[in-house]
């Protein structure tokens, strides 16, 4: 396990968590420690069901850890905070609202001094940034899966959150759309500074988007391996096929294999 000095905008310190299910207690996280620096972007990968989503829910303040502490900007997280934006695999757009109204939703919840014209302008800027100009008045059902996910990203960012939590946002998209959205993520990161946590099953996605990839062990999960990535900023897809990238992917793949083996051993 990698031990690092824990300074960061997001800090998870020695967190353990257990779920009570019908079949008994299920330990999900075991003494997990990791941190994300300001404006950093960390991808979390690991075997299916190892507790990755639990990590996002803890950071978002939707769950309280049984043991340990989650810190956000130096403050203990014990309830949801409006400095967080979230996007899930399911874009969960509200069907009775237009795309523009969907993106504006957080501005109706988070206290802010924006007029309705300013809110609209803000939402429109973001939609333009992700290439959805001209779709403002459409209903979610009229958009493709990739476009819906773009709108969902805009909604997550509209209130300028410090932290963006992405729980497998591209998991249900086809490969081409996914690669398009990776590029969009780079563009968003350039224009809208945020500190990001990305849960993913896709190792290529993790090294393409993040500054650091964290491999979680099998359940109950803890940090098994950390891989810092040199490159930052926009990347082209070609860079996924350089010898260096392939080497990194192989290391990560090997780590996932160990994590899965570890899970089998724990069962």
Partner 1 sequence: MRQLAVPLFAIILFLLFWEMLVWVNGWPNYKMASPSDLWPAFWRFKWLFFTFGWETLWRTVLGLIIAIIIGVLLGMVMGFSKVVREGLYPLLVGFNAIPKATVVPIVALMFVGQHDLNTVLIAFMISFFPIAVSVSIGLSTLEPEYRDILRALGASKFTIFWKIALPKTLPEFFGALKVAVTLAFIGTNLMEIVSPHGRGLGALFDSGKTNSDYPLMFAVLIALAILGIALYYVVVFLERIFAGWAERQAD
Binding of residue 141 to partner 1 (CB under 8 A): yes
Name the DSSP letter for residue 34.
E
Binding of residue 5 to partner 1 (CB under 8 A): no
Q: Is 46 left (phi over 0), alpha (psi -120 to 50) or beta?
A: left
Segment interacting with partner 1, rule: CB under 8 A, options 1-9, 54-62, 169-177, 206-214: 54-62
166 contacts: CB under 8 Å, gap ≥ 6:
86, 87, 156, 196, 197, 198, 199
Binding of residue 21 to partner 1 (CB under 8 A): no
111 burial (CB, 10 Å; 0-12 / 13-18 / 19+) is exposed
Alpha helices in 130-169 (DSSP H): 145-157
Distance of alpha carbon 245 from alpha carbon 157, whole angstroms:
29
Q: Which of residues 145-184 bind partner 1 (CB under 8 A)?
A: 155, 159, 165
When the beta carbons of 38 and 81 are compared against partner 1, the nearer one is 81
Binding of residue 114 to partner 1 (CB under 8 A): no
191 burial (CB, 10 Å; 0-12 / 13-18 / 19+) is exposed
When the beta carbons of 108 and 247 are compared against partner 1, the nearer one is 108
When the beta carbons of 194 and 208 are compared against partner 1, the nearer one is 194
Residue with tokens 């299920």: 26
Q: Which of residues 71-110 bind partner 1 (CB under 8 A)?
A: 79-82, 84-86, 88, 90, 92, 94-96, 105-106, 108-110
Binding of residue 61 to partner 1 (CB under 8 A): yes
Shortest reach from residue 1's CB to partner 1, in Å: 29
Shortest reach from residue 81's CB to partner 1, in Å: 6
Shortest reach from residue 92's CB to partner 1, in Å: 5
The two tokens of residue 62 are: 């939707």
The two tokens of residue 267 are: 């069962």
Please report, as ranges, the residues that interact with partner 1 according to CB under 8 A: 57, 60-62, 79-82, 84-86, 88, 90, 92, 94-96, 105-106, 108-110, 139, 141-142, 155, 159, 165
């Amino acid at each position: 396990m990698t031990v690092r000095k824990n300074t960061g905008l997001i800090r998870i310190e020695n967190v353990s968590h257990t779920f009570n299910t019908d079949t008994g207690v299920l330990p999900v996280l075991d003494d997990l420690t990791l941190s994300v620096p300001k404006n950093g972007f960390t991808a979390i990968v690991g075997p299916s069901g190892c507790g990755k989503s639990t990590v996002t829910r803890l950071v978002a303040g939707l769950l309280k850890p049984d043991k340990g502490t989650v810190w956000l900007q130096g403050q203990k997280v014990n309830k949801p905070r409006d400095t967080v934006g979230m996007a899930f695999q399911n874009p969960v757009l509200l069907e009775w609202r237009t795309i523009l109204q969907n993106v504006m939703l957080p501005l109706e919840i988070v206290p802010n001094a924006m007029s309705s014209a300013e809110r609209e302008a803000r939402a429109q800027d973001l939609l333009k940034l992700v290439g959805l100009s001209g779709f403002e008045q459409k209903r979610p059902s009229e958009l493709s899966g990739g476009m819906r996910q773009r709108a969902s990203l805009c909604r997550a960012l509209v209130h300028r959150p410090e932290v963006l939590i992405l729980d497998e946002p591209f998991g249900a998209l086809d490969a081409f759309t996914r690669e398009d959205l990776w590029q969009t993520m780079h563009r968003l990161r350039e224009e809208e500074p945020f500190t990001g946590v990305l849960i993913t099953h896709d190792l290529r996605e993790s090294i393409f988007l993040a500054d650091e990839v964290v491999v979680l062990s099998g359940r109950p999960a803890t940090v098994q391996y950390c891989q810092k990535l040199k490159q930052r900023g926009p990347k082209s897809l070609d860079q996924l096929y350089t010898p260096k990238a392939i080497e990194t992917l192989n290391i990560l793949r090997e780590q996932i294999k160990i994590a899965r083996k570890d899970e089998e051993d724990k069962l």
